Amino acid sequence: MIKNIILGIKAYFGAFNLISKLNLWKYFAIPMLISFITAIIIFTTAYGLSDNLGAFISKIWIWEWGKETFTTISSFIGGLFIIVIGLILFKHIIMALSAPFMSPVSEKIENHLTGNVQFTHRNTTFLQQLWRGIRINGRNLLMELVITVPLLLLKFIPVVNIFSAILLFAVQAYYAGFGNLDYTLERHFKYQESTAFVRKNRGLAIGNGVIFLLFLLIPIVGVILVLPLSVTAATTRTVEVLQLKNSPKNA
């Protein structure tokens, strides 16, 4: 899996040049706008709620001794909780709403990489692509929340919280990469088949998601460029795996 994580990360190195070579930037205009507006709404809301959540958590401690320390820790955990949940919501909302725009771009990249080799593609409409994006990301959102909430609670336990942070980042990366890979997979597989493909190639999803998350640390620019670059990177690696799967040696 480590090898696939590295491959998922390395796919970003040629993404910018590939987008420019194929003149794809114009197709990313609406997704980038969706990403920017969603980021403003979610993170502004998250900033306003972080102190309130911290104050609510601090009420659990009913004793006077250690009250100040627990309040400080609660404020930190509350802020972290809001940031993580906000990040989860952000990535799934933008990937779901951008599906009808990202899928055609993914197909253009695939045609370029394969030399227009004809695969058995699933013909879908704008609304079908939107529904597929909502369904995949809605499912991933629920799965991610189920895993994330317990990991956030482990933040209250010293030493253990270090490992929980690593796991939390890996989970976030996996589901971010999952959504990006599916823009290509939706042309080849049905819903259940796509989830099985990503589970089998989870390293590629994590590698793609790692850079996706790191991009969000770059103010403004990261939020705008994260979808074009991550989708391009995901498409190149997904196509490579699909070509290998469909090669005569594996037939």
The percent of residues in the chain predicted with pLDDT above 70, rounded, is 83
The confidence score (pLDDT) of residue 13 equals 93
Query: Does the residue 138 lie in any domain?
Result: yes
Of the candidates 216, 91, 96, the one whose C-alpha atom is nearest the C-alpha of residue 148 is 91
The percent of residues in the chain predicted with pLDDT above 90, rounded, is 46
Average pLDDT over the chain reads 85
The confidence score (pLDDT) of residue 55 equals 67
Q: In the structure encoding, which two tokens stand for residue 167, read together?
A: 């796991």
Based on the structure, what is the number of domains in the chain? 1
The residue with greater pLDDT, 121 or 52, is: 52
Q: How far are the Cα atoms of 51, 93, 154, 166 from residue 79, in angstroms, in the given order?
A: 7, 21, 15, 18
Residue 61 has pLDDT above 70, yes or no: no
Distance of alpha carbon 39 from alpha carbon 216, whole angstroms:
10
The confidence score (pLDDT) of residue 4 equals 92
Distance of alpha carbon 232 from alpha carbon 230, whole angstroms:
5
Query: Does the residue 251 lie in any domain?
Result: no
Residue 119 has pLDDT above 90, yes or no: no
Domain range enclosing 25: 2-245
**Which has the minimum average pLDDT: 27-31, 72-76, 141-145?**
72-76
Of the candidates 200, 149, 150, 210, the one whose C-alpha atom is nearest the C-alpha of residue 175 is 210
Query: Does the residue 115 lie in any domain?
Result: yes
Q: Count the Cβ atoms, other than its own, within 10 Å of residue 161.
A: 16
Query: Does the residue 128 lie in any domain?
Result: yes
The confidence score (pLDDT) of residue 125 equals 76
Residue 213 has pLDDT above 90, yes or no: yes
Of 123-127, 182-186, 241-245, 246-250, which has the strongest mean pLDDT? 182-186
Is residue 46 very low, low, confident or very high in pLDDT (cuts 50, 70, 90)?
Answer: confident
Distance of alpha carbon 180 from alpha carbon 137, whole angstroms:
10
Residues 6+ apart with CB under 8 A from 89: 42, 141
Query: Does the residue 250 lie in any domain?
Result: no
- pTM for this predicted structure: 0.84
CA 43 to chain centre: 16
Distance of alpha carbon 94 from alpha carbon 90, whole angstroms:
6
Query: Does the residue 176 lie in any domain?
Result: yes
Residue 28 has pLDDT above 50, yes or no: yes
Is residue 136 very low, low, confident or very high in pLDDT (cuts 50, 70, 90)?
Answer: very high
Q: Count the Cβ atoms, other than its own, within 10 Å of residue 6.
A: 13
Query: Once rounded to an integer, what is the mean pLDDT over residues 226-237?
Result: 95
Q: In the structure encoding, which two tokens stand for residue 187, read together?
A: 């042309």
Nearest 5 degrees, angle CA 243-CA 249-CA 250? 65
Query: Does the residue 125 lie in any domain?
Result: yes
The confidence score (pLDDT) of residue 239 equals 94
Query: Once rounded to an integer, what is the mean pLDDT over residues 82-91?
Result: 85
